[in-house]
Amino acid sequence: MVLVDDQVDSEGFADFTGLQLAYAAYRRLKPRERLAVVPDVGLTAEQTFFVAHCLKWCDLIARRRPTSRYWPGRSRCIVPLRNMPEFAAAFSCSQGSPMNPKSKCSFWE
C-alpha cells in the first residue's frame, strides 16, 4: 500500500477519484435522462460529460501562485482523463496516444 503524504499528490488523487465517482453516477442515469447529442455543438453526451469536467479547470497560468498546493488547471483536467478508458472510448483515442496511454493508473481495481 502506498500512502500519499504530499499535498499536491493528495489533491490529484482527489481529482481522479472524484471524476471516476461522478462518471459512475452519470452512467446510472437512465438513457432518456441524458442528452444524446448537445444541440449545435456536435458532442455526444459522453463527450460533453468529460468536456464539462475540464471547464472548471480553465485558468490563466499567470494568475497561478508558484507555491500553490494544487496541480495547474491543465493537469487537473488532463491527468484524470488520460487514465480513464471511458474517455478514450468517448473520443476514439488510439491506444498508446497521449490521451490513451497503454499504462493507466487505477485506484479501484
The pLDDT of residue 93 is: 98
pTM of the model: 0.77
d(CA 14, CA 36): 29
In tens, the pLDDT along 52-108 reads: 999 888 866 556 666 666 777 788 899 899 999 999 999 999 999 999 999 887 765
In tens, the pLDDT along 5-45 reads: 455 567 777 888 899 999 999 999 988 887 766 778 888 88
Residue positions counted in the chain: 109
Only one residue has cell 442528452, namely 35
